């Protein structure tokens, strides 16, 4: 039986567990809303390796929704994944925010080989019933 050695590293007042195992392939989830951009890096089974957001990178208020904040958050999350040996990844992009393209550009520049990029934004197929008309 293989025993995993766990090191704990402090990064900006957050604990990060670095496992001794190498993760060659993974999935990068980008959730871009108008107010924030959240980047989550997982392995192929869905276990989170690292994550970052514009808020944790130090951006506050309206600056959290900017493309530069998304680019910074993407670079922050990917750096930890690359330290654990990630070389290939799939990218899932969700949401209508401004950080979509900037985060994807930062992922491409990081050196990780992308298998595919998929837009997984939920789209209603004529969704919920609207509220009744307002009577005055």
Best CA proximity match to 44, nearest among 81, 2, 5: 81
**99: in domain:** yes
How crowded is the C-beta side of 27, counted as CA atoms within 13 Å?
13
Q: Is the pLDDT of residue 74 over 90?
A: yes
How far, in Å, CA of 44 to CA of 22, rounded? 13
Bridge partners, 88 (sequence order): 25, 113
With contact defined as beta carbons under 8 Å apart, do 22 and 85 qualify? yes
With contact defined as beta carbons under 8 Å apart, do 86 and 26 qualify? yes
**69: in domain:** yes
Residues 16-59 have pLDDT tens digits of: 555 557 889 999 999 999 999 999 999 999 999 999 999 999 99
With contact defined as beta carbons under 8 Å apart, do 81 and 106 qualify? no
**8: in domain:** no
**60: in domain:** yes
**What average pLDDT does the segment 94-119 reach?**
93
Name the 3-class secondary structure at 30: strand
**55: in domain:** yes
Structure tokens at 92: 């899932």
Q: What angle do CA 120, 124, 128 make, to 5 degrees?
A: 145
What pTM was estimated for this model as a whole?
A: 0.79
**74: in domain:** yes
Q: What is the CATH number of the domain that holds 106?
A: 3.30.420.80
Domain residues for the domain of 51 are: 23-117
Q: What total of structural domains would you count in the chain?
A: 1
**89: in domain:** yes
* pLDDT (0 to 100) of residue 12: 60
Q: Is the pLDDT of residue 13 over 80?
A: no
Q: Is the pLDDT of residue 2 over 60?
A: no
Q: Is the pLDDT of residue 91 over 80?
A: yes
Q: How confident is the model at residue 117 (pLDDT cuts 50, 70, 90)?
A: very high
**14: in domain:** no
* pLDDT (0 to 100) of residue 17: 59
Residue 11: partners with Cβ closer than 8 Å, 6 or more residues away: 80
């Amino acid at each position: 039986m293989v025993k995993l050695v766990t090191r704990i590293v402090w990064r900006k007042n957050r604990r990060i567990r670095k496992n001794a195992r190498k993760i060659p392939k993974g999935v990068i989830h980008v959730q871009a809303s108008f107010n924030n951009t959240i980047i989550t890096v997982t392995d192929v089974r869905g276990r989170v390796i690292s994550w970052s957001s514009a808020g944790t990178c130090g951006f506050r208020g309206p600056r959290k929704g900017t493309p530069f904040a998304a680019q910074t958050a993407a670079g922050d999350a990917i750096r930890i994944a690359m330290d654990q040996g990630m070389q290939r990844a799939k990218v899932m992009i969700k949401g209508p925010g401004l950080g979509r393209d900037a985060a994807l550009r930062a992922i491409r520049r990081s050196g990780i080989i992308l298998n595919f990029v998929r837009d997984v934004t939920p789209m209603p197929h004529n969704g919920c019933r609207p509220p009744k008309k307002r009577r005055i």
